[in-house]
Amino acid sequence: MSSRKRFSRAFTTAPRIPFDNTSKFIIFSDCHRGDNSFADDFANNRNTYFHALQHYYNEGFTYCELGDGDELWENLEFKNIFEAHKNVYTLMMNFYQECRLYRLLGNHDMVYKNERYVAKHLHSYFNKVIGEDVPLFPGINFTEGIVLEHSQTGQEVFMLHGHQADFMNYAGWKLNRFMVRALWRQLQIFGIGDPTSPAKNYRELKKVERRTKEWIIENDNIFTITGHTHRPRFPEPGEIAYFNDGSCVHPRSITGIEIENGEISLIKWHITTAVDGTLKVNRKLLEGPNKLIDYKTN
């Protein structure tokens, strides 16, 4: 199956989510939450991420996680990830209980395509304090994409991970997972990157972006937001409507996309040092806000 067909299938099978100018969304991807070992890329930014997510929860945002939330190539079991970052999952559980959480499939958590695996590992967890299973994300399901549909303008915003443009990370994800577990996880400790990842392979990154843009153009410049490459993208109205939220494993920062008041923005959360030496997590606007309607095509 070609990348065009994979994109199209993700679009046509995606759940449709109604929204309007009062809706608020925060979009993150590529958290790669691990087991807090030396190979856990998320560990460096976990406090920044938690603070940001707490802010969005308090402000009434809906959280859309566009794949690779959990690092299930390097880690064999979800329970080790859960124990390492339990505060994050407790907060995400609050989003889910209020119907404010959407999680999509990425290549590093493609195993969530198996509903029985999801039911076994994510529907509940064992609470050591009371000695019994309690709900975590009961009934949650993962899709390849979601489409936001504006109730007044009819504009569609298509979100997916983006590995649909990358054959080996889509169809060959099991082979890549084996290579990561057998080889690259150990080398990562010494600072050697995984060449299967477009985030660490510029040639692959450009190929993924080119295929994504081609599909968008062929489908009337449909408004599309992805992750996967870890490279933020924020086009201006009139350009190819290809957005990328970046990742949560940048050195010393996380990036994401906000949709609020009918506008879209690219933002960064990072730690800054005050004059008195105290550390503070700050939000920085990188691009926008631009009106969503300015990207609408007829």
**Mean pLDDT value of segment 274-291:** 94
- Calpha distance 291→259 (Å, rounded): 9
Which residues sit opposite 148 in a β-bridge?
Answer: 17, 157
- Calpha distance 254→295 (Å, rounded): 25
Above 70 in pLDDT, residue 272? yes
Lowest-pLDDT choice from 69-73, 204-208, 223-227: 204-208
pLDDT confidence bin for 168, thresholds 50/70/90: confident
Mean pLDDT of all residues belonging to the chain:
92
Above 80 in pLDDT, residue 112? yes
Strand extents, DSSP E, the chain: 16-19, 24-28, 62-65, 101-103, 124-127, 132-135, 145-150, 156-160, 223-226, 242-244, 253-260, 263-273, 279-291
Tell me what pLDDT residue 110 has.
Answer: 93
Contact present, 54 and 63 (Cβ < 8 Å): no
Domains of the chain, residue spans: 3-295
Tell me what pLDDT residue 132 has.
Answer: 87
Tokens of 268: 């960064």
Fold for 3-295, please state it: Purple Acid Phosphatase; chain A, domain 2 (3.60.21)
Tell me the pLDDT tens digit for each residue of 74-90: 898 899 999 999 999 99
| Length reported for the chain | 298
pLDDT confidence bin for 240, thresholds 50/70/90: very high
Tell me what pLDDT residue 198 has.
Answer: 60
**Mean pLDDT value of segment 143-149:** 98
H or E segment and range at residue 193: none
Tell me the pLDDT tens digit for each residue of 21-42: 999 999 999 999 999 988 899 9
Tell me what pLDDT residue 199 has.
Answer: 59
Tell me the pLDDT tens digit for each residue of 169-220: 877 767 888 777 676 556 555 555 555 556 567 788 999 999 999 999 999 9
Q: What is the DSSP string of 138-179?
A: TT---BSEEEEEETTT--EEEEE-SGGG-HHHHTTHHHHHHH
